[in-house]
Amino acid sequence: MSSCDPRRWVCGINIPVFLHLSKYTTSMLLFPAWLAALAACTTVTTALKLSTIRKNVPNSSLTRRFSKNATSSPDDPFDFKIHQDILYTTTLQINGQLFQVNMDTGSSDLFLDTTGANLEGAINTGQLGSLTYGDLSQARGNLTLIDVTWGNYTVKNQIFINAPGTNATAAGTDGLLGLGPPSLSRISTIVDHFNMTVNGNAMLQNIFNLEPDKADFITFRLTRNVAGVSDGGDFTIGEVVPGYEQVLSTPKLPIYGDRWLTFMDALIVNGSASLLPL
């Protein structure tokens, strides 16, 4: 299966700020106040041929699941938004259904609460998998393959943990999408351990493999509304938000350990440097 040395993952920095992106993980992720470009693995080897396609999905073909906040539009294909002021979410599409999932930078795998969902065409591998998070919640179920669309990308037979009724979802969401380095993938470890003849790569890694000649990074632009309250922003894969191209030429800081973590000396606000509180 695909492998990646986490020491080769780097983080592009503009104005660094530490920020939690998930209530489930205790790890921190370094972000700029306006934009962070996260460069992924520069070398990927895949034992199996990955079948993926990139396309736009007509909105008329979508049906809403029970997530009241899940949407899809050409202007915001990832439906990137803040959820209840505690986490950021995006929307996945499966069989014309919308799944609003937590974007978690402290893990790499995908799990979904599929209660009441149409999983026609899914392949049940028969192998059980489980993910346990920092709050001791757990997503447990069979490793399952199904076509998953995220933004303008569709991954054929994406592997995920099918966990109907799991207690690991935040209120009003349908699962969790891990955006951490591949070394964090529990699913990939299970696939390798049992010599399963399936693609065990995480969703983001599969998308990177789709366009091998394109730079492998993701960006977040976190915004606030006129009242100063966090209000979503922009999320991109392999490109930056227009007007922020300079982030691609800024120095890249190394990450430490197996998560998106780096060090900073001070936080500069309005030209004044302040020591960070412990």
Query: Nearest CA to 244 among 222, 225, 227, 273?
Result: 222
CA gap 101, 146 in Å, rounded:
16
Q: Which residue has the higher pLDDT, 47 or 257?
A: 257
Which of 32-46, 62-76, 141-155 has the weakest average pLDDT? Answer: 32-46
* 102-106, 150-154, 257-261, range with the lowest pLDDT: 257-261
Q: What are 132-186's pLDDT values in tens digits?
A: 988 899 999 999 999 999 999 999 999 999 999 999 998 789 999 999 999 999 9
First CA to last CA across the chain, in angstroms? 40
- Please, which pLDDT band fits residue 206 given cuts at 50, 70 and 90? very high
Distance separating alpha carbons of residues 90 and 78, to the nearest angstrom: 6
Whether 45 shows a pLDDT value over 50: the answer reads no
pLDDT at 99: 97
Name, in order, each residue with C-beta under 8 angstroms of 151's C-beta and a sequence gap of 6 or more: 77, 78, 237
What homologous superfamily does CATH list for 47-212? Answer: Acid Proteases (2.40.70.10)
Q: pLDDT category, 278, cuts 50, 70, 90? A: very low
